[in-house]
Amino acid sequence: MADPATSPPPTCVSRVTTLPPDTIEVEVKRVKDGDTYVIEKNFCAERNYKLAGSFIHSSNLDEFGEKKWSIWNALKKEGYIYDGKFVTTKFPYDNESAFNLSANLTPEEKHRLFEILQKKMECVVRSRGLNTTELSHFGRAEEDGAKTATKFLKDLILGKKVRISKPAGQDGYQRVLADEIFIPTPENDGTYVLANVSMIQRGFAHLFIFEASQEPIRVSLLPCEKEAHQNRRGIWDTPAFQGAFHVTSFHHAKLPYYSYFSEYFRFANISGATLNLRDYVVENCATGKRIPLPDVEVPAGVQVQALSKTDRVNLTYTGKPIIISLDAGEDFWSDAGAMVVLRREADGNIEATESSSAAFQCTPGPWTIAQTPDKK
């Protein structure tokens, strides 16, 4: 991957002298990855925002001695720990009386366990409008550029008092959504560096727009993304970003935590232009089955959620995210090893792929137009 630090200097404006109204000062306690960071808990408490669970390890329960593993297994079985990795939103961190566990604990032990889990809850902020590649998690390989993006954001904001845009609520993972991070320059001259613009400019992130209310973000960042793309900075010089789309998440039917979701994958238009999904098909790499995508226009930088089966669709870029149904009638990826393949229908060109895990490898088969069912 090309080193963004040695690329030509970006031409997009990444500093301002006038802040938007309603920005809020916060202190950054931890940077989780290139688009997610942790701030002081009282920020969430003062605004009645939920806290999000952080990573937990079985060693955190060592003090319980012989009861350690029975407690750990009960926490996983009853949904307080997600995939054996972090505390879930089910944990009632603000109401100890609602915390019930089947493990045989004394009142004192139960209270201590509650305290341990409570400390694992954080006030997490997700930068809205952009997405960075993923660090290794849940058996999935680390994606190109993930560590570099995380380090860049750490260098910009970790341990500093910065200002963030007025929050736009929280997402399903109980992360506060904020459009931008404004960082005072060392000169303290009233100038602020725009962290998210800098991430896009240098090729550490790509646009990831959910709905039309974010159109001002899309319009302002799209020229910066195009510049990074054209100059092959950062992620734009890696194999995963050479097609029209990039798959950002894939929750197939055989995942350990599938009961939390319906089967779906999410992808973003990274082409720099408006595309119509009717020109593309989705393929199950393992079986070779294909399904044509519906007639939906997707502007550059906008994401789409594709569910295997749902009546909850939205086929236009409006005040709601674009949601399409594959109308598969059942889970499309019912095998333990799975790969999403997005192809251009005209010639079968592969525009994006995403595997269920690092262990699962699949080579998409040859393109035969007869394999694709007629569009509905």
pLDDT in tens, 45-71: 999 999 999 889 999 999 999 999 999
Dist. CA 72–CA 59, nearest whole Å: 10
pLDDT at residue number 86: 86
Rounded mean pLDDT, 247-264: 70
Report the pLDDT value the prediction gives residue 123, as an integer from 0 to 100.
Answer: 97
Whole-number Cα distances in Å, 230 to 177, 200, 241 = 29, 13, 12
At residue 73, φ and ψ (nearest 5 deg) are -65, -35
Q: What size, in residues, is the chain?
A: 376
Q: What counts of helices (H) and strands (E) characterise the chain?
A: 6, 23
DSSP at 5: G
pLDDT at position 255 = 56
User: How many CB atoms are located within 10 Å of the residue 337 CB?
Assistant: 16
- Tens of pLDDT, residues 66-99: 999 999 999 999 989 976 678 988 899 999 999 9
Supply φ then ψ for residue 136, to 5 degrees.
-60, 130
Region 6-25: what's the mean pLDDT?
78
SS3 73: helix
Q: For all residues of the chain together, what is the average pLDDT?
A: 89
pLDDT band at 307; cut points 50, 70, 90: very high
Closest C-alpha to 179, from 135, 148, 210, 224: 210
Out of 47-51, 235-239, 286-290, 359-363, pick the least confident.
Answer: 359-363
> Average of pLDDT values for 189-198?
92
**Selected residue with higher pLDDT from 196 and 251:** 196
Pairing mode, strands 176-178 and 121-127 = parallel
Confidence of residue 281 (pLDDT cuts 50, 70, 90): very high
Higher-pLDDT residue of 251, 84: 251
Give pLDDT, residue 32.
Answer: 94
Distance, CA of 238 to CA of 235 (rounded, Å): 5
How far apart CA 339 and CA 324 sit, in angstroms, is 19
Give the per-residue pLDDT at 14.
83
Residue 350 confidence class, pLDDT cut points 50, 70, 90: very high
The share of the chain scoring above pLDDT 70, in percent, equals: 90
pLDDT at 8 over 60: no
Q: What structural domains does the chain harbor? A: 4-48+128-240 (2.40.50.90), 55-119 (no CATH), 243-371 (2.60.40.1260)
What is the model's pTM? 0.86
- Strands 245-251 and 264-269 come out as antiparallel
φ/ψ region of 6 (left if φ > 0, alpha if ψ in -120 to 50, else beta) reads alpha
Q: Rounded CA gap, 117 and 103, in Å?
A: 15
**pLDDT at position 13:** 74
Asked if 239 and 164 touch (Cβ cutoff 8 Å), the reply is no
Q: pLDDT class for 141, splitting at 50, 70, 90?
A: confident
**DSSP H helical segments within the chain, as ranges?**
41-46, 68-77, 107-118, 146-157, 195-201, 215-230
- Read off the pLDDT of each residue in 315-338 and give the average, rounded to a whole number: 85
Contacts of 137 (CB under 8 A, 6+ apart): 85
Token digits for 80? 């307080």
The values of phi and psi at residue 255, to 5°, are: -65, 150
Between vectors from CA 273 to CA 333 and to CA 327, what angle results, nearest 5°? 25
Whole-angstrom Cα distance, residue 94 to residue 219?
40
**Higher pLDDT among residues 207 and 336, named by residue:** 207
What pLDDT is stored for residue 10 in this prediction?
Answer: 44
pLDDT beyond 80 at 369: no
Q: How many CB atoms lie within 10 A of CB 188?
A: 7
pLDDT (0 to 100) of residue 187:
83
